[in-house]
Structure 1
Amino acid sequence: MGELTYEIGQNAYIKIVLHALKHKSSAVNGVLVGRYDAGKGIVQISDAVPLFHSNTGLLPSLEIALMQIEEHFASQEVSLVGYFHANERSDDYDLSNVAKNIGDHLCRYFPQAGILLLDNRKLEALPKVKDRSPVMQLYSRDGSKWKVEENSHLVMKEPSANMILLDYVSTQKWEGIIDFDDHLDDISKDWLNAELFK
């Protein structure tokens, strides 16, 4: 699947990074929502839903979350197109078994599903470097294994996303991000994060 390009939208990108920043000392994960343009070979990631910051691999909570997410997005003609993960330790740059297992599960329903692993080195350097590339690494499934893709396979839909992200970071906007863990603790909290970009 190396010929595929994964195009990530600004809001999805910002949600992923803010989720990781809010829970710096925990592993975090979530799912990617979008559509597949088979003619162009592009997986378009239009949204991200932060899932957990504790017990990232707990199956009952994951099943509940995936059912609610799929039900919500079914009418919008988008589906789950991938998974994102940030490791607990800042010096851990490997794809965890939890990430691989959830990625494998998503591939059963969407064979082109990718995994985005946050790169803590790039994330820490972001305010200094003013880089326009994503602060994450793309993995795609190759047979039964996950492999790292070249950076050219993951592109930002809006090249200025990192600049806008810096503004969100400077105003500590990550404090407002809600994940499914938060929603399960208090169902009045919106896992869609509709207020985040207002």
Structure 2
Amino acid sequence: MSNHQIDLRAYAIPLLHAAKYPAYDVCGALLGKIGTKDQHHTEITTAVPFFHQWTTVTPMLEVALKQTEMYAKKHGWVIVGWYYGKACLNDSAIPESAKKVAEAIKNNNGGKAYVFMIDNEQFSASEPNKSVIIMFLDAKLTKFLKPYIAADNGWKKLAEDQIILTETNTYAKTLELINKSLYTDIHDFDEHLNNVSLNWLDVSQLRLI
């Protein structure tokens, strides 16, 4: 069975991004390492915040993806997926724009990619004993587990026993970071365009502990 390792930064940074901009949709890239065909293990190491204003597919997205790809390569990573959080509390369906980006990532990774959808209803409830990210893994020729996914090569929810959190108290630590307002240290590509001194790529190495 394949397993999928999620480090604290990969879990916390998307949520910190959403906490900084609760009135906006937010999105960004997931970085890590994908195993070979013989190695059924993927490491999702960290995340890079992209947008909170322009979350649809735009020319700026191509620029941000290219810069992130070069940054990831420098650190021994690749772009392994995409995260997305909606401002609407009761909607965690994967939007079309996120699917398009994730499909492009999948094509670059030999058919493997991830989407993290932030479950804003649970996130706003701030319950440390529950997961606040719904994770989908690209899956071919499988039945869709959610009715809003309509594609032959769609996205299915990962089973809990397939997920390895490197921090045993990931949920509690993430909520603690939010309560400490660490989201003020999150800068996305949108902000960088307005103030080039803000290093949005290095957010991926944000000190969390």
**TM > 0.5 fold call:** yes
- Where do residues 2-81 of structure 1 align in structure 2 (5 Å cutoff)? 3-38=1-36, 39-81=38-80
Name 1:186's counterpart in structure 2: 195
Q: CA RMSD in A?
A: 1.9
Deviation at 1:174, TM superposition (A): 1.1
Q: Contact 2:53–2:190 (CA<8 Å) still a contact in 1?
A: yes
1:197 correspondence with 2:207: yes
Name 1:161's counterpart in structure 2: 170
Q: Contact 2:192–2:198 (CA<8 Å) still a contact in 1?
A: yes
Q: Contact 2:136–2:156 (CA<8 Å) still a contact in 1?
A: yes
Q: Which runs of 4+ in 1 moved over 6 A?
A: none
Distance 1:19 1:173, change over 3 A: same
1:171 correspondence with 2:186: no
Q: Contact 2:10–2:47 (CA<8 Å) still a contact in 1?
A: yes
1:85 correspondence with 2:95: no
Paired residues, number: 193
Quick one: distance in 1 between partners of 2:116 and 2:50? 14
Distance 1:164 1:101, change over 3 A: same
Quick one: distance in 1 between partners of 2:80 and 2:125? 28
Distance 1:76 1:194, change over 3 A: closer
Task: Give the aligned residue type for 2:26.
Answer: V
Deviation at 1:195, TM superposition (A): 7.8
Distance 1:40 1:87, change over 3 A: same
Quick one: distance in 1 between partners of 2:119 and 2:163? 13
Quick one: distance in 1 between partners of 2:169 and 2:106? 30
Quick one: distance in 2 between partners of 1:11 and 1:33? 10
Provide the secondary structure at the position in 2 that maps to 1:190.
coil
Distance 1:7 1:130, change over 3 A: same
Deviation at 1:163, TM superposition (A): 2.1
Q: For residues 46-67 of structure 1, give each alpha carbon's deviation from its aligned partner in whole angstroms, at most 9, with x where no partner exists.
A: 1100110011123211100011
Q: Contact 2:10–2:46 (CA<8 Å) still a contact in 1?
A: yes
Quick one: distance in 2 between partners of 1:12 and 1:50? 11
Name 2:116's counterpart in structure 1: 116
Quick one: distance in 1 between partners of 2:79 and 2:204? 18
Give the structure-1-normalised TM-score: 0.89
Quick one: distance in 1 between partners of 2:158 and 2:106? 17
Task: Give the aligned residue type for 1:19.
Answer: H
Give the structure-2-normalised TM-score: 0.85
Deviation at 1:99, TM superposition (A): 1.1
Q: Contact 1:100–1:146 (CA<8 Å) still a contact in 2?
A: no
Give unmatched runs, 5+ long, in structure 2.
141-152
Give unmatched runs, 5+ long, in structure 1.
none
